[in-house]
Amino acid sequence: MILEITQYGNPILRKKCKAVEVVDDDLQQFAQDMIETMVDANGVGLAAPQVNQDIRMAVVDVSHDPECVSFLKVNGEDVSMDQVMPLVFINPELVLDGEKESDTEGCLSIHDIRANVKRPSVVKATLPQLDGSVIELEADGLLARAIQHEVDHLNGILFIDRISPAAKVSVKRKLRRLAAR
């Protein structure tokens, strides 16, 4: 089922989300709905608050571009993109590493605004899965950026909070219009 994507100005996008305590059939279905919604919106990631749920869960799928990472390890082993995508995780923990790299980001909850965001180039993530297992994922490139972006959502942080002061000035008017909708 396609879910409605929460838009900029909704207070849930600024909340630190609650940990997922129980994985049941409803949560499993919600994960599938999130994936379907992300794909329908042509996104590479979607966090629960973006569909109005105050829980620490997100989905990411960058498999449309297998060259978007130079390495991908799960539990210390090299894996291919199709072995882990779409990635669904709850209650993530991140360790950020590497030089910061600047790249353009957008957000399904903030229409028509894209800006350069500096983020660490490598992510090491502890990602609990819905089946109770936990994976240790290490990656760079678009996957690292997407995971960081979605985990930011779970902490009430938006990509526009991470842009340069000059870029903030240039998008300020657009953001006011979006918030007024």
| Local structure of residue 160 (DSSP, 8 states) | G
CA 143 from chain centre, in angstroms, equals 9
The token pair at 25 is 């059939």
CA 120 from chain centre, in angstroms, equals 15
Catalytic residue among 67, 93, 138, 150: 150
The answer to whether 107 is annotated as binding is yes
The span from the CA of 80 to the CA of 10, in Å, is 37
The answer to whether 149 is annotated as binding is yes
Are 90 and 112 in contact, with CB atoms under 8 Å apart? no
The span from the CA of 68 to the CA of 53, in Å, is 29
For the question of residue 105 being annotated catalytic, the response is: no
Q: Which residues are annotated as a binding site?
A: 107, 149, 153
Residues carrying an active site annotation: 150
Q: Which residues are annotated as a binding site for Fe cation?
A: 107, 149, 153
